[in-house]
Amino acid sequence: MEMQPYSRFSQTEPILFDGCETYGRWNNPLSSAVYNNLIVVVVDNRYAGRPDLIANVLYGDSSLDWVLITVNNVTETLNWPNAGDTIKAPNPTIMTGELL
């Protein structure tokens, strides 16, 4: 299984289960510097339910949607976030150095 370099599973060892490669418990790779440099984003209708689009606008990479989900402690991602929600996001300037 080939992963994108920013996949949330890139920090996790693969597990072989029933002859298939899968991933177990995920370890959060984000440093405390990320959590100390958060910005507030108000979600408008264009981005409701689409953390991938928000990540693309903020970081230029939709595959970094997991960063927003992680920072906001979201456990149910279906239709998250709603229009009008205020969410936290790592400052784009810190993310460049953090994940590259």
44: pLDDT strictly greater than 50: yes
SS3 category, 54: helix
- Dihedrals phi, psi of 70, to nearest 5 degrees: -65, -50
How many CA atoms are closer than 13 Å to the CA of 15, on its beta-carbon side?
9
28: pLDDT strictly greater than 80: no
pLDDT band of residue 69 (cuts 50, 70, 90) is very high
65: pLDDT strictly greater than 90: yes
State the average pLDDT over residues 29-36. 85
Share of the chain above pLDDT 70, in %: 70
What are the sequence ranges of the domains in the chain? 30-99
